[in-house]
Amino acid sequence: MALLIDKQKCSGCGACVEACPFEALSLADDKAQVNEACTLCGTCVDVCPEGALAVEEVTRAADDRAATSRGVWVFAEQRDGVLPEVVAELLGQGGRLAADLGVELSAVLLGHGVSGLAGELFALGAQTVYLADDPRLQYFNDDLYAEVLARLIALHGPEVLLAGATALGRSLIPRVATAAATGLTADCTGLAIDNQRRLLLQTRPAFGGNIMATIVCPLARPQMATVRPRVMKKAQRQEGASGRLVTMNLEAGLAAATQVLEMVRSLGEEVNLTAAEVVVVGGRGLGKPEGFDLVRHMAQELGGVVGATRGAVDAGWIGHAHQVGQTGRTIGPKLYIGLGVSGAVQHLVGMQSSEVIVAVNSDPNAPIFQVATYGIVGDLYSVAPAMLARLKELRG
Amino acid sequence: MKIIVCIKQVPDTAHVKLDPVTHTLKREGVASIINPFDLFALEAALRLREEAQGSIHVLSMGPPQAAEAIKEAIGYGVDEGLLLSDRAFAGADTWATTAALAAGVRMLGGADLVICGKQAVDGDTAQVGPGLAQRLGLPHVAFVKGWRECAADHLVVERQMDDGFDLVRLPLPGLMTVVREVGEPRPPSLKGKMRAKKYEVPLAGAAALGLGEAEVGLAGSFTQVVEVFAPPASGQRQMIEAPAEEAGRLVIDHLVRDQIIRLGS
Ligand SMILES: Cc1cc2nc3c(=O)[nH]c(=O)nc-3n(C[C@H](O)[C@H](O)[C@H](O)COP(=O)(O)OP(=O)(O)OC[C@H]3O[C@@H](n4cnc5c(N)ncnc54)[C@H](O)[C@@H]3O)c2cc1C
Ligand SMILES: Nc1ncnc2c1ncn2[C@@H]1O[C@H](COP(=O)(O)O)[C@@H](O)[C@H]1O
């Protein structure tokens, strides 16, 4: 596998060098040359005016799954009998994809004593619910859940499978994709159908959010993706809708290798940043640990939770459980407020899908203003108290 | 306990700059580092070795210069390294990566515990750990933030979830991916650094791993990148030009008007 450069055709114009997102191309003796950083993404092939570049065609073994697999599936994650919001989002997006493909939308539900959730999945648009209800599935163990899902896939052959990019989804789904011998795209923020080839176009940020990449899985099926929570539009509930329920029984020999001993919920420092509607984030601009009192106050007033940048966490002002960003949690609340946050790219990737972003920073050139819906240049210790005061005034 | 830690060499994304005109990454002079999450994996391995004795091997797939990452790991005190490197590995997705890493684990004679970082900061997929476990037929627990028990045949680990954490028994041999909370990486030791200087990193290519060209790299991948583009600029942006107090009051008015903040309950 390699990038092929036709040195006869190459005019040395450098267009490919400019276009390469990975700095894998350079000019030597007025001809393009490629180095180890090349990921064979093909960006250069498209920009070359001379048609001198090509990615060596891959000869792949025939895979007849593309011809025989049909239907869009959503993995309906549940924890303790509760469906997280992302399931409604997946069914919303899954429904649109299924309509584009002209196929059915189904949900897969695994657990114990969860059959009651099937009705909710029908209401959210699932036409079929595949259910495995068994005491051995009461707790989430990757190996057994993956085994059951892989069997269902082998049995029914869906062409698309979506799951939430939650802690559970991101742990389980890679294992399922490997068991099913198919491709998987992580943490997608955009999904669409290429109707001509019945391909799922999966778009996600990469390189710490510096670039977006669209990825396809041309041959193997199902085409699998985990989807970032709070990005897709939720399905409209259809009260009383019904559908087909297909149950699967686990055979006697199956057992999980890992064993969940205890589930511990949101205690102390554990914050459910991912599910919060409002997140108020404090950065190093707070200047001191007590600055978080102001952040907490604002979060409380807005019914939100407290987030932090790595700068603030590293300063020891607040626990790492609050960190938002590449090495913290990814959030997408309705409202994000950043106080004294510079907006380093590692922070931005974790919050830029927020619906509304308010940034307060004394430096007019802070990169956070590039993504802010409302930007305020000023001292946060003047701006934030004024915000609180106005809120109090309006609430009377 | 025999531990294998998978580490990846990545560009230091903190210093990757986006060219504002061409929207491409400027990586000139950007250093390569060990994926930050893999340093937590190394630290976890070092702590487990202190607790349970045994040995630590580091395994990496990458271009020849990834040998530097393995040498750095030697500096932290691991026992041995193995670099899987071959032109044929280029363009690997996580499926093809786990094919090579699984072969590497087998070449090392297997392990009681394989540790991966939570995710690599260049691709951010977090898929290699669980995928590798499936390839090796091992149970796994992802996003481990610590352990309560470490015995010859099992660990009891804390698994980070979105709403708290689970206590999970992981039988050995097994695999775990770790998050930051397992422990701040210690600095490399002087003795380790001395050893790293002289350490010759063992290399294995596709043939030595018993892998055909069709199983690795882009040819062995299910997924393909078809387009790379700059992130779209976000919607309407507005700077509120007013003195601080006034701006603070105004932004609340905007948020109320946009129904982002509700006044009633
Ligand atoms: C591999 C890697 C992973 C990372 N992961 C993350 C991550 O997950 N999350 C994360 O957040 N970061 C992460 N970082 C760190 C990131 O690069 C930045 O260093 C960090 O986000 C900066 O935090 P900050 O905005 O609080 O601090 P700073 O960059 O120091 O910014 C403080 C800001 O406050 C402003 N300010 C100062 N005083 C005031 C005042 N009185 N009123 C108003 N504004 C004021 C300043 O103008 C400045 O813009 C990562 C880095 C690396 C290398
Ligand atoms: N090329 C590689 N060589 C060794 N380990 C890797 C490689 N790619 C990924 N890993 C391991 O898998 C983890 C998750 O990576 P990723 O799935 O790419 O986000 C990393 O933290 C590493 O521990």
Residue A268 domain-assigned (yes or no) = no
Question: Residue B59's beta-bridge partner residues?
Answer: B6, B82
Q: How far is the CA of B61 from the centre of ligand 2 (A)?
A: 9
The answer to whether the CB of A292 falls within 8 A of the CB of A382 is no
Mean pLDDT of A373-378: 95
- Select from A310, A318, A322 the residue to mutate for testing ligand 1; criterion: most ligand atoms less than 8 Å from CB: A310
Q: Which chain A residues have a beta carbon less than 8 Å from that of B230?
A: 211-212
Read off the pLDDT of residues A67-89 as tens digits, 9 standing for 90 and up: 899 999 999 999 889 999 999 99
- Select from A294, A317, A326, A330 the residue to mutate for testing ligand 1; criterion: most ligand atoms less than 8 Å from CB: A326
Give CA–CA dist A240/A251, Å, rounded. Answer: 33
Residue B234 scores a pLDDT above 70: no
> The domain that contains A348 carries what CATH number?
3.40.50.1220
State which of A256-270, A282-296, B112-126 shows the largest mean pLDDT: A282-296
The answer to whether the CB of B93 falls within 8 A of the CB of B101 is no
Q: Residues of chain B with pLDDT > 90: what percent?
A: 74
Residue A253 domain-assigned (yes or no) = no
- Residue A298, domain extent: 278-394
Residue A173 scores a pLDDT above 70: yes
Q: Which two tokens mark B71? A: 């040498």
- Dihedral over Cα of A176, A181, A187, A191: its sign: negative
Please indicate, yes or no, whether residues A233 and A117 belong to a single structural domain of this protein. yes
Q: Which chain B residues have a beta carbon less than 8 Å from that of A21?
A: 24-25, 228
**Cβ contact, residue pair A166, B93, below 8 Å:** no
- pLDDT bin (cut points 50, 70, 90) of residue B5 is very high
- Distance of residue B243 Cα from the nearest chain A Cα, in angstroms: 8
> The domain that contains A165 carries what CATH number?
3.40.50.620
pLDDT for A137 equals 97
Query: Strands B2-6 and A374-377: what pairing?
Result: unpaired
Q: Which chain B residues have a beta carbon less than 8 Å from that of A168?
A: 161-162
Read off the pLDDT of residues A208-244 as tens digits, 9 standing for 90 and up: 666 788 999 999 999 999 999 888 999 999 999 999 9
Residue A361 domain-assigned (yes or no) = yes
pLDDT for A38 equals 81
Read off the pLDDT of residues A275-317 as tens digits, 9 standing for 90 and up: 788 999 999 999 999 999 999 999 999 989 999 999 999 999 9
Residues lining ligand 2, Cβ inside 6 A: B 6-8, 35, 37-38, 41, 59-62, 94, 97, 101, 116-117, 119-120, 123-129
Question: Residue A133's beta-bridge partner residues?
Answer: A111
- Which residue pairs from B109-112 have beta carbons closer than 8 angstroms and sit at least 24 positions apart in sequence? B110/B2, B110/B173, B111/B2, B111/B3, B111/B4, B111/B57, B111/B173, B112/B1, B112/B2, B112/B3, B112/B54, B112/B172, B112/B173
- pLDDT bin (cut points 50, 70, 90) of residue B26 is low
Please indicate, yes or no, whether residues A187 and A169 belong to a single structural domain of this protein. yes
Please indicate, yes or no, whether residues A69 and A202 belong to a single structural domain of this protein. yes
The answer to whether the CB of A357 falls within 8 A of the CB of A255 is no
pLDDT for A229 equals 86
Give CA–CA dist B239/A148, Å, rounded. Answer: 52
Residue A265 domain-assigned (yes or no) = no
Please indicate, yes or no, whether residues A230 and A200 belong to a single structural domain of this protein. yes
Q: How many A-B residue pairs are in contact by the CB < 8 A criterion? A: 334
Please indicate, yes or no, whether residues A221 and A360 belong to a single structural domain of this protein. no
Nearest residue to B228 (alpha-carbon basis) of A291, A23, A214? A214
> The domain that contains A41 carries what CATH number?
3.30.70.20
Residue A243 domain-assigned (yes or no) = yes
Q: Is the pTM of this model over 0.90?
A: no
The mean of the pLDDT values for chain A is 92
Q: Which chain B residues have a beta carbon less than 8 Å from that of A357?
A: 234
Give CA–CA dist A181/B188, Å, rounded. Answer: 39
Domain count for chain A, please give it. 3
Residues lining ligand 1, Cβ inside 6 A: A 283-285, 287, 309-312, 323-328, 340-342, 344, 346-347, 350, 360-363, 366, 379-381; B 13-14, 36, 121
Distant-in-sequence, close-in-space partners of A268: CB < 8 Å, separation ≥ 6: none
Residue A98 domain-assigned (yes or no) = yes
Return the domain boundaries, chain B: 2-204
pLDDT for A269 equals 45
Instruction: Give the angle A345-A349-A350 at the CA atoms, nearest 5°.
Output: 120
Nearest residue to A317 (alpha-carbon basis) of A288, A279, A294? A288
- Ligand nearest the Cα atom of residue A187: 2
Least confident of A19-28, A123-132, A257-266, B96-105: A19-28
Q: Which chain B residues have a beta carbon less than 8 Å from that of A352?
A: 231, 234
Read off the pLDDT of residues B185-213 as tens digits, 9 standing for 90 and up: 999 999 999 999 999 999 999 999 999 98
Mean pLDDT of B103-120: 97
Alpha carbon of residue A123 to chain centroid:
24
B17 compared with B242, residue with greater pLDDT: B242
The answer to whether the CB of B136 falls within 8 A of the CB of B105 is yes
Residue B49 scores a pLDDT above 50: yes
Read off the pLDDT of residues B52-100 as tens digits, 9 standing for 90 and up: 999 999 999 999 999 999 999 999 999 999 999 998 998 899 999 999 9
pLDDT for B237 equals 79
Please indicate, yes or no, whether residues A89 and A107 belong to a single structural domain of this protein. yes
Q: Which of A225, A247, A269 is the last residue of a domain?
A: A247
Q: How far is the CA of A268 from the centre of ligand 2 (A)?
A: 31
Residue A193 domain-assigned (yes or no) = yes
B41 compared with A57, residue with greater pLDDT: B41
Please indicate, yes or no, whether residues A72 and A50 belong to a single structural domain of this protein. no
Q: Is the peptide bond before A222 cis (omega within 30 degrees of 0)?
A: yes
pLDDT for A231 equals 82
Closest Cα in chain A to B180: A327
Q: Chain A window 233-262: which residues touch B at a Cβ cutoff of 8 Å?
A: 256-262
The single-letter code of the amino acid at A254 is L
Give CA–CA dist B55/A252, Å, rounded. Answer: 38
pLDDT for A59 equals 59
- Distance of residue B151 Cα from the nearest chain A Cα, in angstroms: 15
pLDDT for A300 equals 92
Residue B14 scores a pLDDT above 80: no
pLDDT for B81 equals 98
The answer to whether the CB of B220 falls within 8 A of the CB of B92 is yes
Q: Which of A227, A247, A267 is the last residue of a domain?
A: A247
Please indicate, yes or no, whether residues A42 and A71 belong to a single structural domain of this protein. no
Closest Cα in chain B to A146: B134
CB atoms within 10 A of CB A195: 10
The mean of the pLDDT values for chain B is 91
How is domain B2-204 classified at the CATH fold level?
Rossmann fold (3.40.50)
Residue A374 domain-assigned (yes or no) = yes
Q: Chain B window 204-233: which residues touch A at a Cβ cutoff of 8 Å?
A: 213-214, 217-219, 221-233
Q: Is B145 on the interface with A (CB under 8 A)?
A: no
- Select from B4, B6, B115 the residue to mutate for testing ligand 2; criterion: most ligand atoms less than 8 Å from CB: B6
Q: Which of A26, A56, A86 is the last residue of a domain?
A: A56
Distant-in-sequence, close-in-space partners of A266: CB < 8 Å, separation ≥ 6: A272, B163, B164
pLDDT for B84 equals 98
- Dihedral over Cα of B244, B248, B250, B254: its sign: positive
Read off the pLDDT of residues B133-178 as tens digits, 9 standing for 90 and up: 999 999 999 999 999 999 999 999 999 998 789 999 999 999 999 9
Please indicate, yes or no, whether residues A7 and A113 belong to a single structural domain of this protein. no
Residue B20 scores a pLDDT above 60: no
- Ligand nearest the Cα atom of residue A347: 1
Please indicate, yes or no, whether residues A358 and A381 belong to a single structural domain of this protein. yes
CA atoms within 13 A on the CB side of A286: 27
Please indicate, yes or no, whether residues A182 and A301 belong to a single structural domain of this protein. no
Please indicate, yes or no, whether residues A303 and A229 belong to a single structural domain of this protein. no
